[in-house]
Structure 1
Amino acid sequence: MEYRQNSHGVWDVKYHVIWVTKYRYKVLRGDVAERTRDLLRQICQGREVVIVQGAVSPDHVHMLVSVPPQLAPAKLVQYMKGRSSRMLQAEFPQLKKRYWGQHLWARGYFCASVGAVDEETVKRYIETQKWEDPGENFKITAPSEP
């Protein structure tokens, strides 16, 4: 695991994101696929997003990205889908003709967080935290009912 940092924090925030072309048309081939890859690299670099792994398939994009904590996954996908759609349609007339409504990508996306430890490990870690003075230790969550 590799932590990233800036002057105010240290983090490891990774997302697995997937989105598809509208109507699942298999238009991401050859030059279009290559340009899609290059555009996504540029967009991510401009937002300080590190692409851990990614693949452009004929009808969808899969990416595993490491993002700064202030960048919400919805905003990240909005930047990537919006800019890439505009640029690809401007550069490839066949896409503009096929997607006359200006939408290259289907609505929505899939996103899951990817972590080094699972939820149970974090819960156990928090539960085992001890303070020198037991009076300073308090739980944020409501106690479970018997």
Structure 2
Amino acid sequence: MTRYRRDVFTAEMLRRRADVMIEVCASFEAELREVNGVDDHVHLLVHYPPKMAVSKLVNSLKGVSSLYLRKEFTGRVNRAIMHGHFWSPSYFAASCGGAPLAVIRAYIEQQRRPT
């Protein structure tokens, strides 16, 4: 989620965010299998090594994407509104080992994207 659930993302920002997150996952030997989002938050389906701390991956995904999005979309991301932070400090992560991957992918794909 973005800080204070502000509507920040545009379709162009979501595309760029996905590119950055794919690179971050690759650096962790993880695979970003599905990504989508709405105006104020994103959904990711990530396959990562079992010994990896998910908190480290999430912190890196947030940190690196924040850096690039702030730099490339400065006019859209008002630093004063965010009080120096792009993302909310919280996140939700769940295992989907028992659910069919197609169901998870369909849920993420069906998220409303900004126009």
Number of residue pairs matched?
A: 98
Which structure would you say has the larger Rg?
A: 1
Q: Greater share of strand residues, 1 or 2?
A: 1
Higher relative contact order (CA 8 A, sep 6+): 2
Percent of paired sites with the same residue: 35
Preserved contact between residue 21 and residue 32 of structure 2 (Cα < 8 Å): no
Unmatched tracts of structure 2, length 5 or more: 100-115
What letter is aligned with 2:92?
A: F
Pick closer, same or farther for the CA change 1:99–1:85 going to 2, 3 Å: farther
CA contact (8 A) 2:24 2:60 kept: yes
Q: Distance in 1 between matches of 2:51 and 2:21?
A: 19
TM-score, structure 2 as length reference: 0.75
1:25 to 2:6 alignment? yes
The verdict on how the C-alpha distance between 1:100 and 1:26 changes in structure 2, with shifts beyond 3 A counting, is closer
RMSD over aligned CA atoms reads 1.8
| More helix, by proportion | 2
Runs of 4+ in 1 over 6 A off after TM superposition: none
Q: Which amino acid aligns with 1:106?
A: S
TM score, norm. by length of structure 1: 0.60
Structure 1, unpaired ranges of 5+: 1-19, 118-146
| Shift in alpha-carbon separation, 1:116–1:100, aligned structure 2, 3 A | closer
